[in-house]
Amino acid sequence: MEFTFTTARLLIQTEFAPLVSIFVLMAFIKTNVSFSDSTNRSFLLACGAAILLTCSDSMRFITAHMDHPTIYRYISAGAGYALRPLILFRLTIISSRYKIRNKFLMAIPIVFCTFISILSIFPFAHGLMFSFSDDNKFVRGPFGYLSHIVSLFYAFQVVYYSLKNFMYNKFEPVIVIIMEIAAFTATFMENRYKYDFVLSQVMISSIIFYYFFLLTQTFKRDTLTHFLNRRIFYLELKHLLKDPFIILSMDLNNLKVFNDTQGHAAGDKAIITVTTEMTRTFSKYATLYRTGGDEFMAIFKKSSISEVVNLVSVFQKNLEKTEYQVACGYASYTPGDDIDKIISLSDERMYENKVNLKQNKNI
């Protein structure tokens, strides 16, 4: 197959939109200050790998239809085998929120896969991972499935770390699983039915979708606690008014004292300590929000008042092991109630509990 106008038109029709999309994303990343530099850098590296993968797939498409193998056939194959798991490796780093204990061990599979992939391009290593017969037919070598295995390993890592974030974001594992089902389907289609360009396009779509999903979370969540913010609390309330629920108001006592006497680092430590305990106690039953500096709210959709009271008792008892106190107050909403009055009632009971805490009484 020669590179004709028809071939060029097919490649442009297939690859133009994905490439434009990924370049636009890269421009957006360069102007975005919502993420840390390391997160933006990882996304840029994933984008760069996706662009190279698209180019290598285009080269593979052209050279695969030639009468005999060329060096470009080997280059495109080696690049494809190295770049696919590399993209998943970068997504693993991102999904872990940079909390991987041993990054060196985590990088060993991709380093080894990349080494074997590049080595297989050279004549002395033909057949190690792949080779091509005289009539340009693909021949899988002893390391022929290495890229697939490494990709699968990192794919599971992305799911694992997204599940670790489940307490803070229940939708991230769903998004990740959808992305990976699409990638596995695309891999099957490429290998079983010889569909070209499907996997690279799915990977580009996944990078873009995952980036903007995480970006929306930065506008919905408090950066210190990862709780949903005040704006989302009131927006979500509007969608809950048709069903009964219980609101729990919480206030961290003496936060200003910690900030003024020990510095803001001490205040942050207090907030992190109490919100960690909130997450441990309430997250299975309620959605948590940070609505102010020392103010927090929880919405219980399926719990009874007695269950909420018991959970608050457990929460405040656990805090006795620390130097912090959190005042709590609850109110039950039924459809037709004035939600503002329910919130005010919850706040009033919380302020009453402040007094009770000073007298060593519970809610």
**Hey, what are 210's tokens?**
């995952």
Q: Tell me the mean pLDDT in the region 338-353.
A: 96
Strand partners, 287: 299
Give the tens place of pLDDT for each residue, 285-316.
999 999 999 999 999 999 999 999 999 999 99
The domain 5-220 is placed in CATH, from the list 3.40.1280.10, 1.10.10.10, 1.20.1070.10, 3.40.1190.20, at: 1.20.1070.10
**pLDDT score for 275:** 96
Q: What percentage of the chain carries pLDDT values higher than 90?
A: 79
In three-state form (DSSP H/G/I as H, E/B as E, the rest C), the secondary structure along the chain is: CCCCHHHHHHHHHHHHHHHHHHHHHHHHHHHCCCCCHHHHHHHHHHHHHHHHHHHHHHHHHHHCCCCCCCHHHHHHHHHHHHHHHHHHHHHHHHHCCCCCCCHHHHHHHHHHHHHHHHHCCCHHHCCCCEEECCCCCEEECCCCCHHHHHHHHHHHHHHHHHHHCCCCCCCHHHHHHHHHHHHHHHHHHHHHHCCCCHHHHHHHHHHHHHHHHHHHHHHHECCCCCCEEHHHHHHHHHCCCCCCEEEEEEEECCHHHHHHHHCHHHHHHHHHHHHHHHHHHHCCCEEEEECCCCEEEEEECCCCHHHHHHHHHHHHHHHCCCCCCEEEEEEEECCCCCHHHHHHHHHHHHHHHHHHHHCCCCC
**pLDDT score for 355:** 85
Average pLDDT, the chain: 93
Give the tens place of pLDDT for each residue, 179-189.
999 999 999 99
pLDDT at 362 over 60: no
Q: Tell me the mean pLDDT in the region 80-107.
A: 94
**Amino acid type, 79:** A
**pLDDT score for 3:** 60
CB atoms within 10 A of CB 138: 14
**What is the CA angle 275-276-278, rounded to 5?**
60
Q: What percentage of the chain carries pLDDT values higher than 70?
A: 98
CA distances from 307 to 55, 304, 330 (A): 58, 5, 12
**pLDDT score for 10:** 86
pLDDT at 205 over 60: yes
Please list, in sequence order, all residues whose beta carbon lies within 8 angstroms of the beta carbon of residue 301, skipping any fewer than 6 positions away: 240, 243, 245, 286, 287
Higher pLDDT, 257 or 56: 56
- CA 159, CA 95: separation in Å to the nearest integer? 8
Higher pLDDT, 11 or 83: 83
pLDDT at 207 over 90: yes
**pLDDT score for 147:** 97
Residue 358 main-chain phi, psi, to 5 deg: -65, -25
Give the tens place of pLDDT for each residue, 212-240.
999 998 889 998 998 999 999 999 999 99
CATH homologous superfamily of 228-358 equals Reverse transcriptase/Diguanylate cyclase domain (3.30.70.270)
CA distances from 72 to 87, 195, 305 (A): 22, 20, 69
Higher pLDDT, 24 or 191: 24
Q: Name the band, by pLDDT with cuts 50, 70 and 90, for residue 361.
A: low
- Which segment of 6-10, 54-58, 136-140, 154-158 scores lowest on mean pLDDT? 6-10
pLDDT at 269 over 90: yes
Residue recorded with tokens 């998004």: 175
Domains in the chain: boundaries: 5-220, 228-358
